[in-house]
Amino acid sequence: MSRTIPEGWATGPDRVHLPCDLSKPAEVEAVAAALRELMPREGRILLVNNSGFGAYGEFPAPGLAHNLGMLDVNVRAPVHLTGLLWPELLARGGMVANVASLAGYQPVPLMATYAATKAFLLNWSVALDTEGRPRGVRSVAICPGPVSTNFFRGAGFSQPTGLPGQTALACVDEALEAMASGRAQVVTGWSNRALSWFGARLPKPWAAALGLRAIERKLGRRAR
C-alpha cells in the first residue's frame, strides 16, 4: 500500500516523526489521519498523551493567551486525538496512557490553571477506563510529582524549586509497571503517593491554602 508522507515529516526504519502543534485542531486532525494511514493494520494500539506545559504565577500570569493555550494542549488535544482514534482502539483493542500529575489531586494556587487541567485529565482518564474496559480498551492516568525535566523552567520558575524529583526513567518504569498490571491510575514515587492521599481527602479550600503556604515557604516569595 502506498503511504504518502507530508513534506517535512521525518521517517526512519523503525519510527515516523509527525510534527503537530497540538494547540491547533486542524493539525490534530491531520496527524490523526496520517497515523491511520501509517500504522500497521492489525495488533493492539498504545496511544500516549504526554504533551503538556504549565505556568507559574498569580492568574492570569504569564498572560491569558498562555493559560488558554494550556487548556488547548493539556485538555482539548488529548480528548480530540483520543476521540479521533477511538474507533480503531475499539476495533483492535489497546490502551490510552494519559500523563496527568500529582497536581491533579488538589487545587494549586500560583499554578491554578495547570493543576485544573491535570485534574480534568485524571478524572477523564479513569472514567474512560471504566467505559472502555468491557470492550478491550484500557486507560491509565499517570500522575508524576516533580520529575527531572525542563518543566519548571518552561513554566516560568526563575529559581530552583528545591523539590525532590524522580528521574524520568524511574517515572517511566513505574508507569509501565502500572500499565502491565492493568491499573487505572498510578502516582509515581512513594512520597508523591502519600501527598496525593492527603491532598485528595482534605477539604479543597484547606488543600489550596496549605499548597500556597508551602510554595511561598519553598520559594520565599509570591509570584506575580
Catalytic sites, residue numbers: 114
CB 53, CB 101: distance < 8 Å: no
Residue written as cell 498562555?
66
From the list 166, 44, 60, the residue with the least C-alpha distance to 111 is: 60
